Structure 1
Amino acid sequence: MHDPRFSVLSEDFAAAPHRYYSRLREHAPVHHEPAADSWFLSRYRDVRRVLTDHEAFTTETLQVRAEPVMRGPVLAQMTGAEHTAKRKIVVRGFTGQVLQDQTRVIRANAAELLAPLLAQGRMDLVNDFGKPFAVRVTLDVLGLDKEDWRQVTAWLAGVGEFITSIGLTPERRRHCLDCAEALEGYLVPAIEQRRRHPGEDLISLLSTTAFDGVTMTTREVTALVVNVLVAAVEPADKTLGLLFKHLIDHPEQLAQVRRDPALLSAAIAETLRYTPPVQLIPRRAERDSEFDGGVVPAGATVFCMVGAANRDPEAFTAPDTFDIHRQDLGTARSFTAAAQHLAFGTGLHQCVGAAFARAEIETVAALLLPQLDGVRLRPGFAYREAGLYTRGPVALPLDFTPVPEPVAALR
């Protein structure tokens, strides 16, 4: 169904999507956007159904939306034995001892970047810290030179624009493809060098590991490395900024997390539910599919509205309330395949980097919270979020009283 008075692509929706979630779920749960010729699903049960029914709703749309800039197929496009084997390779790069080593890398990078910022008593958590940190730590984990972060960030912006734009002009499309080609040119020599001389980094692992006789070509490794870069960088700075915004807006919960650091995981899980950084997950309907509210035709592009689904009262009590103590979320399972929220997707193609994301945000937040005494938003700052496909704060300027202990002592 289509309501001509409303559009997911409108400026009003872009300014504050959460204001429209209940309207969509109640009156247009299967919403058609003629301009994009796509269907948008907003109910929790419908979104979960689409993400778990891999025969009726496939990831074929990624062949057009992602593969040209990923430089090859990514995990979400794969099925069967190929998907199982390659997913195992990637998961191995984010679990066990490897993840423990990565956590030390995360902490060292965070401490290095934070030291000069903390001394000033003010910083933009998103632009001064979050964005450079997310790229630098991912490059470090991959085994690339983190000093290249500015150039890699520029290339990734083009890649991300291609994947997340509902419509691109020919000029922007060419720019995005040029960014992807440049990024590929940067990565391929490093991948080939690690094949010959592997180290302990993630690129070495992806380049040399085989499961069930499956090894990967340079093109396949390149696609997965770009996949890791996009997946690790895009949500990280957004989630960190959103976490601090919600805690500052709820000072009693901020105080509780300060007193009991064990609550930090719950605060991150609730942030992912309340304001997931990835708002849309695309699928293609392989056959006509009926929902309570409309029919999605075969061949149609379906966008699962994760933000709306995560605030569905059928799935969560008082869903429009930020509450780190909610009983219907489950912190222990919120970063696993059994998560109740849908911020990491669900089913066969759930995000493989959930454990790394948790380690990254927890490590940084645990480092920051004791160092930011009296943290508050800068006076006069007008908070704003941006993004339809992925969404987060445009900026988050904070004022605080620095504590005397140097960051270096916390490494």
Structure 2
Amino acid sequence: MSTVTELDGFAAEMLSDAFRLDPYPTYARMRAECPVYRAPHGVWYVTRHADVEQALGDPRLSNDRDRMTGALVARDGRMRELSRLTSRLGRVMSNTDPPDHARLRSLVNKAFTARRIEELRARVQTVVTRLVDAAVAAGQPTDLLTAVASPLPHTVVCELFAIPEADRDHVKEWFRGLGRISEDIERAVQVVDAFEEYLTGLVHERRATPGDDLISALVTAQARGDRLTDHELLSTCFMLITAGDETTTNLIGNGLLALLRHPDQLARLRADPALIRQAVDEAVRYDSPTQAIVRVAAEDVGIGGHTVPAGDLVYLVLASAGRDPEAHPDPDRLDLSRPPGRHLGFGHGPHFCLGASLARLEAELAIGTLVRRLPHLRLAVDPGRLDWRPNPLQRRLTALPVTYTTGTDPLERT
């Protein structure tokens, strides 16, 4: 068991610039010295793969919005206004426990099927090609985060929800406002008001005249005679539109960077493009776009030999689990031949990420196209000069500047 001083040291490390730039050495020490770590502010960090996997499936670790809000406000009164804002978004499957979660997920699954996602492939490829063409036309060096990784998921979700072209710039601004929700509550309230009003109009329109889009599919989704209420429908649309934007951007950016820093693996992918699915899966494990998932103990819960008291917040550190040598041999090396599927980057259990298949599709097409279209792709700056946003739950570069030579892939033009 670590001493109190060492525990305080971990908490300090997680607030440092060094941790923001590279959290993995700290996670390695936590797994070795204190894998279930209670920080001085009362939050628990679970870092070993086996413990994280078990905790993700434990129903006593709640994702219920009201429990989570109570735990957050109890630790920081400044969270009260933020919690009031998020409570307006309603109860959706991502912030409920069984049986509500199972009911909501069964309804949403009716609309968010693997077939529907696969049918998007050609449309997503068209968007990717357009973005890469524009990036090449703009000249070098190119920031692939701004040029491709960030606009792609926004554009795809607009396609998925059939948001009119004339409205997409407004939606993009709302996304940006929501991304800064904890920094400017007053602005966030205005964003939620505007977005809620806009979505209400879309729902009413699609209820009257359904089309081949996700909102229409949600409107008509039924399971055992059940359907989403108007408020549930609105909240679910809000969740689905916003949830995948940040994560998918991070996945594409982090995955590209991982390949650029492992030129042997980038060469393997160039030689065998069929490895793209394994490359994306390995990127999720190697540098998880979602660093941690937060839960609150609904009752006393045993994790890794420790008892987490009811009401305490628990950070399940997916990024650390992905680098656990007990689950992933030689974990600090990117390896496209690694057997897929063992990482926890998209969660595990009943709350496994509903949008995982869409995120994978977007990342496969974006990274695969860039690797094919831009031979000799390389970083335009020293890796040590890259910067990362300060967010304990998401890992995202501020920019990914690259240089390259251009090539033409005949598959792109057919």
Q: Is residue 191–residue 203 contact of structure 1 (8 Å, CA) maintained in 2? A: yes
Measured at CA, do residues 100 and 288 of structure 1 come closer, stay the same or move farther in structure 2, by a change above 3 Å?
closer
Task: State whether structure 2 residue 311 is matched by structure 1 residue 312.
Answer: no
The partner residue of 1:17 within 18, 23, 27 is: 23
The partner residue of 1:409 within 407, 410, 413 is: 413
Question: CA–CA distance in 2 between the matches of 1:187 and 1:408?
Answer: 35
Task: State whether structure 2 residue 303 is matched by structure 1 residue 291.
Answer: yes
Aligned counterparts, 1:1-400, within 5 A: 2=4, 3-7=7-11, 8-35=14-41, 37-54=42-59, 56-61=60-65, 64=69, 68-69=85-86, 71-80=89-98, 82-119=100-137, 120=139, 122-146=141-165, 148-162=167-181, 168=182, 172-292=184-304, 294-326=306-338, 330-331=339-340, 334=341, 340-379=342-381, 382-386=385-389, 387-400=391-404
Superposition deviation, residue 179 in structure 1: 2.0
Question: CA–CA distance in 1 between the matches of 2:220 and 2:227?
Answer: 7
Measured at CA, do residues 404 and 104 of structure 1 come closer, stay the same or move farther in structure 2, by a change above 3 Å?
closer
The unaligned stretches of length 5 or more in structure 1 are 163-167, 335-339
Superposition deviation, residue 224 in structure 1: 1.2
1:337 matched residue in structure 2: none
Superposition deviation, residue 208 in structure 1: 1.9
- TM-score with structure 1 length normalisation? 0.88
Moved more, 270-279 or 145-154: 145-154
How much identity, in percent, do the aligned residues show? 29
Moved more, 393-402 or 149-158: 149-158
Q: Is residue 68–residue 177 contact of structure 1 (8 Å, CA) maintained in 2? A: yes
Superposition deviation, residue 67 in structure 1: 8.2
Question: CA–CA distance in 2 between the matches of 1:104 and 1:405?
Answer: 16
- TM-score with structure 2 length normalisation? 0.87
Question: CA–CA distance in 1 between the matches of 2:190 and 2:267?
Answer: 47
Q: Is the partner of 1:282 in helix, strand or coil?
A: strand
Question: CA–CA distance in 2 between the matches of 1:408 and 1:258?
Answer: 15
Measured at CA, do residues 299 and 399 of structure 1 come closer, stay the same or move farther in structure 2, by a change above 3 Å?
same
Measured at CA, do residues 295 and 84 of structure 1 come closer, stay the same or move farther in structure 2, by a change above 3 Å?
closer
Q: Is residue 31–residue 39 contact of structure 1 (8 Å, CA) maintained in 2? A: yes
Q: Is residue 90–residue 352 contact of structure 1 (8 Å, CA) maintained in 2? A: no
Measured at CA, do residues 379 and 116 of structure 1 come closer, stay the same or move farther in structure 2, by a change above 3 Å?
same
Question: CA–CA distance in 2 between the matches of 1:24 and 1:285?
Answer: 21
Q: Is the partner of 2:404 in helix, strand or coil?
A: strand
Question: CA–CA distance in 1 between the matches of 2:144 and 2:94?
Answer: 31
Question: CA–CA distance in 2 between the matches of 1:243 and 1:121?
Answer: 21
The unaligned stretches of length 5 or more in structure 2 are 73-82
Q: Is the partner of 2:38 in helix, strand or coil?
A: strand
Measured at CA, do residues 212 and 82 of structure 1 come closer, stay the same or move farther in structure 2, by a change above 3 Å?
farther
Q: Deviations over 1:144-194 (max 9, x none)?
A: 1355444323323443444xxxxx57xx33332332222112211011110
Moved more, 275-284 or 84-93: 84-93
2:77 matched residue in structure 1: none
Q: Is residue 115–residue 407 contact of structure 1 (8 Å, CA) maintained in 2? A: no
Measured at CA, do residues 221 and 341 of structure 1 come closer, stay the same or move farther in structure 2, by a change above 3 Å?
same
Question: CA–CA distance in 2 between the matches of 1:151 and 1:379?
Answer: 33
Q: Is residue 126–residue 237 contact of structure 1 (8 Å, CA) maintained in 2? A: yes
**2:45 alignment partner AA:** F
Moved more, 272-281 or 97-106: 97-106
Measured at CA, do residues 17 and 59 of structure 1 come closer, stay the same or move farther in structure 2, by a change above 3 Å?
same
Moved more, 193-202 or 389-398: 389-398
Question: CA–CA distance in 1 between the matches of 2:388 and 2:165?
Answer: 27
Cα RMSD after superposing both structures: 2.4
Measured at CA, do residues 379 and 157 of structure 1 come closer, stay the same or move farther in structure 2, by a change above 3 Å?
closer
Q: Is residue 57–residue 348 contact of structure 2 (8 Å, CA) maintained in 1? A: yes
Measured at CA, do residues 314 and 223 of structure 1 come closer, stay the same or move farther in structure 2, by a change above 3 Å?
same
Measured at CA, do residues 229 and 101 of structure 1 come closer, stay the same or move farther in structure 2, by a change above 3 Å?
same
Q: Is residue 283–residue 303 contact of structure 1 (8 Å, CA) maintained in 2? A: yes
Measured at CA, do residues 359 and 93 of structure 1 come closer, stay the same or move farther in structure 2, by a change above 3 Å?
farther
**1:295 alignment partner AA:** T
Q: Is residue 384–residue 393 contact of structure 1 (8 Å, CA) maintained in 2? A: yes
Question: CA–CA distance in 2 between the matches of 1:315 and 1:268?
Answer: 18
Question: CA–CA distance in 1 between the matches of 2:400 and 2:15?
Answer: 25
Moved more, 223-232 or 347-356: 223-232
Question: CA–CA distance in 2 between the matches of 1:315 and 1:380?
Answer: 31
Superposition deviation, residue 97 in structure 1: 3.5
Superposition deviation, residue 57 in structure 1: 0.7
Count matched residues.
391
Q: Is residue 280–residue 389 contact of structure 1 (8 Å, CA) maintained in 2? A: yes
